[in-house]
Structure 1
Amino acid sequence: MTHHHPPIDFPMYGLDRTWAGPRWLDLLDGPAGHSVWGIWLGHGRDVARSAGGNWAVVGSFSPDRSAPLRSPGETFEHGLAFDVARVLLGHSRDIRRIEMEADRWESWPTVAWRVDGQVVTARLLVENGPAWAGFTTDVPHVGLVVHGSGLEPDGLSLARVSESSSYHFDAKSPLEYPTAIQASQDAALGR
C-alpha cells in the first residue's frame, strides 16, 4: 500500500563527498501521511547489507518529532541507542537483549566523527563481525545514527545533504512510500 509523506523539513546527513559509491534513499520513519521523524540514506552497492561489504546507512532523526515516541523519562540519546542496538542486533529478535544493550549506551566506547568538518563524539556498538553502529547528538537540530560495514567508524566523515538529487529523490517534494525508495535504489544501483 502506498502513502505520501510531506517534504523533509529537518537536516539530513550522509557520507561526505569523498564517498564515490552509489547513494540512495533507504527508509522513511514516520506514520503514513504525516511528517517523518527519521530518514535513512544508503551508501554502497549492497542494499541487503551483507557481511563483508563496504556500505553505510545514515539515519537523521528530528528530536522534536521523535519525542512522542519515547517513554516518559526516556532521553533522545536512549532512543537513538535503541535504534543502534535494533539495527545491529535485530537479527537476534531478542527484544530484551536489544533493550539491555540500549540501557547501557553511556558505557559504549566513543569514536570521533567529522560532521560538516567539525569533530563530534559518537557512541559505538560493535557486534561479532565487521558490522558496527553508532550515534551522536552533537549535531544541532538532529540526531545521527550510522550502521556500517567495511568502513572505519573512527574518523567517519558525514555532511549535511542540501541537494537530495545525489540520492535520487527530491526531499523538497512529498514522498510516496514505498515508490520513492524503490525508484531511488533502482536509479542508484542501475536496476
Structure 2
Amino acid sequence: METKTGTRQGAVEGYLSADFPWYGLDQAFTGPRWLGQLGAGADGTVEHGAIGHGDEPSLKAEAADPEGQKFAVVVTVAERPLRRSADGTGVMEATSVSSAAWLAGSGLLSATWPTRMDRALRQDWLDQQISAAWELADELTGAGWSSLTLPVDGVPTAFHYRESEYGWVMAGSASGVHLGAYGRNLSAYGLALAAVPDLSAYAG
C-alpha cells in the first residue's frame, strides 16, 4: 500500500483514537492512499472521517484539467444511537446511512465544484448544492438512487448509489458503522471495501 503524505497526515492520532474501525478500498487497490477530514463531537469524540484513494482532489488541479482527477474516498461514520449532547442541554440525532450519504455527497461537491464560476457566487452555489445533497440523502429510497452490491470485508453488501455530472456517491452499512463513498473517473463498479488493518501506516 502506498501512503500519500500531506498536511492532513497529522490527523493520524485522531483517527487512531476512534472507537470504531476505519474502512477503505481493499488491498486490490495499490495506488496512493491518504487521510481526509476527521469529524469530532463537542466533547472530542471522533464521529466520522474519510480515507482517500488515488489523486487527492485539488481545485487547482480541477481548474487545469477538469477530467484528469481520479479518486475514490471512503467515509466511515460511527453507528451512534440517539444521545445527549456533550453539554447535556440537547439531544443528538442517531447516525444513519443517510448521515454517510450526506457526508459523501457534500465531500464530492467540495472536491469538484466549478472552478470557472465567479468567486462571489461559489459559496452560494456550494451551499445550495449541499442542501440538495442532504435532501437526496434523506430520501435514499427515492428515484435519485439505484442499488449497487459490493463486497465489504468479503461480504456482499447493498449500497444506495447515484451518479451526477460531478461523479458518483454511494452509502450503506457494515458492522458498527455506516459507510459512504464518492469518486470521480474511478468506477464504483468492481470496487471492494475492507476495514483498514493498520492505520499507523498513514503516520508517514
Structure 2 length-normalised TM: 0.68
Q: Is the 1:60–1:143 contact (alpha carbons within 8 Å) kept by the matching residues of 2? A: yes
- From the CA coordinates, give the structure whose radius of gyration is larger: 2
CA distance in 2, matches of 1:158, 1:39: 15
CA distance in 2, matches of 1:68, 1:48: 37
Tell me how large the CA RMSD over aligned residues is.
3.0
Tell me the alpha carbon deviations over residues 149-185 of structure 1, each in whole angstroms, 9 at most, x when there is no partner: 122212311111120134x23xxxxxxxxxxxxxxxx
Equivalence map 1:34-183=2 (5 Å): 34-48=44-58, 50=62, 51-52=66-67, 53-64=69-80, 76-89=96-109, 91=113, 92-94=126-128, 95-107=130-142, 108-129=145-166, 131-137=167-173, 139-166=174-201, 168-169=202-203
Read off the aligned partner of 2:80 and give its amino acid letter: D
* Further displaced range: 35-44 or 72-81: 72-81
Which runs of no fewer than 5 residues in structure 1 stay unpaired?
170-186
| Alpha-carbon spacing, 1:67–1:20, altered in 2? closer, same or farther (3 Å) | farther
Instruction: Percent identity, please.
Output: 26
Which runs of no fewer than 5 residues in structure 2 stay unpaired?
1-9, 86-90, 114-125
Instruction: Please state how far the C-alpha of 1:99 moved relative to its aligned partner.
Output: 3.0
Q: Is the 1:113–1:122 contact (alpha carbons within 8 Å) kept by the matching residues of 2? A: yes
Instruction: Please state how far the C-alpha of 1:80 moved relative to its aligned partner.
Output: 2.2
Partner secondary structure for residue 46 of structure 2:
coil
CA distance in 2, matches of 1:118, 1:13: 14
Tell me the alpha carbon deviations over residues 75-95 of structure 1, each in whole angstroms, 9 at most, x when there is no partner: 612222322332234543205
| Alpha-carbon spacing, 1:106–1:73, altered in 2? closer, same or farther (3 Å) | farther
Instruction: Please state how far the C-alpha of 1:67 moved relative to its aligned partner.
Output: 6.0
Partner secondary structure for residue 178 of structure 2:
strand
Read off the aligned partner of 2:127 and give its amino acid letter: R
CA distance in 1, matches of 2:29, 2:150: 15
Tell me the alpha carbon deviations over residues 26-82 of structure 1, each in whole angstroms, 9 at most, x when there is no partner: 11111466121112111113342744322111111101178668x887761222232
Partner secondary structure for residue 148 of structure 2:
strand
Instruction: Give the aligned length.
Output: 165
* Further displaced range: 26-35 or 14-23: 26-35
CA distance in 1, matches of 2:82, 2:28: 30
| Alpha-carbon spacing, 1:121–1:68, altered in 2? closer, same or farther (3 Å) | farther
| Alpha-carbon spacing, 1:118–1:127, altered in 2? closer, same or farther (3 Å) | same
Structure 1 length-normalised TM: 0.72
